[in-house]
Structures are given as structure tokens and as C-alpha cells.
Amino acid sequence: MIKIHGGSLFDYVFVIDRQMTGNQRTRFILQQFLEGLLNLIDEHKNNKGDILTVRGTSYIINSRTAKRIGFRVIKTDNIQKLILMYNYFNVLISHSIAKGKLSFPKLNETITFETGLSELAGREKFIRNLNNQLKSSPSAVIGSTQ
């Protein structure tokens, strides 16, 4: 199993451009997430025999986006919820940086999603197109790609 996440507080502080709007920051985070998935897919092509599950928990990615990328939404386990509550201050700061203003994350809207790496590779074209769209257009809309 490969567990993925949206980045650490360090990443949010030092990687995200402070001149971006909240929407631009959210799109950047999603674009970087897609970039990471594409790297996993490329690595999978080199190791075809690997049967791996990719799982992540997020309060930024919603269930519709997760499903369109090729994930299925599963129940978030209580340990993951406890970890998020324990780290609420860091999550609050990261979420506020992502939104460009003080913003309290709704941990009850956190989703966990998973898929097989092979299934993810089957969505490569869609993921690549969405990644390129988010890279090239600061006003790209996530739902506008098939």
C-alpha cells in the first residue's frame, strides 16, 4: 500500500506562492497532487508486476474529484480522524495557507479514497490532461475536463 498526502506545513509555507489567490493555491495543490500520481503511474509502468493500493485522506480533495481521477471513496478510519484532530493546529494553518485566509477545515468533511495502481494507470490520460490544464491556466475549472 502507498499512502499519499497533500503535503506538510513546511511545504505549504515554503512552496506555495503567497501572491496566489485562494483558488489558485487550491488548484496548485491539486495540480501537484496529480503530478505525484503521474510519477507513480510512470514508476508503475517500469514495475508492471507490482500490485499496489494507493490510499489518501484529504480535506482539500472532494469525493467528486477523487472519483473522477479514478479513486473510490472509503470510510475514514478512526485512527486517521484522531491523527487529524491531534494535529488540528497544523491542519488549520495549512488549510488557511491553501485558502489564502484564516479558514477552519471541516474535519467531518474529510474523505479517504483508494484505488489500485493499475486502475489509476488506466486513468492516466484523464489525469495527464487535467494536470496540464491546471498547469497552463490559472483560471482552470476542475470539472471542465472529461
Q: Is residue 144 part of a domain?
A: no
pTM for the structure as a whole: 0.82
Query: Strand 2-4 to strand 53-58: parallel, antiparallel, or no bridges (unpaired)?
Result: parallel
Terminal Cα distance for the chain, rounded: 28
Specify the pLDDT at position 140. 47
Q: Is residue 145 part of a domain?
A: no
Query: Average pLDDT of 117-130?
Result: 93
Question: Please, which residues have CB within 8 angstroms of residue 131's CB and are 6 or more apart in sequence?
Answer: 31, 34, 35, 38
pLDDT digits (tens, 9 = 90+) for 80-104: 889 888 989 998 998 899 888 999 9
Q: Is residue 128 part of a domain?
A: yes
pLDDT at 141 over 70: no
Query: Average pLDDT of 29-52?
Result: 85
Q: Is residue 15 part of a domain?
A: yes
- Number of folded domains that form the chain: 1
Q: Which residues of 115-139 are buried (b: 16+ CB within 10 A; e: fewer)?
A: bebeebbebbeebeebbebbeeeee
Task: For residue 111, give the C-alpha cell.
Answer: 474523505
Query: Average pLDDT of 110-133?
Result: 93
Task: For residue 46, give the C-alpha cell.
Answer: 517500469
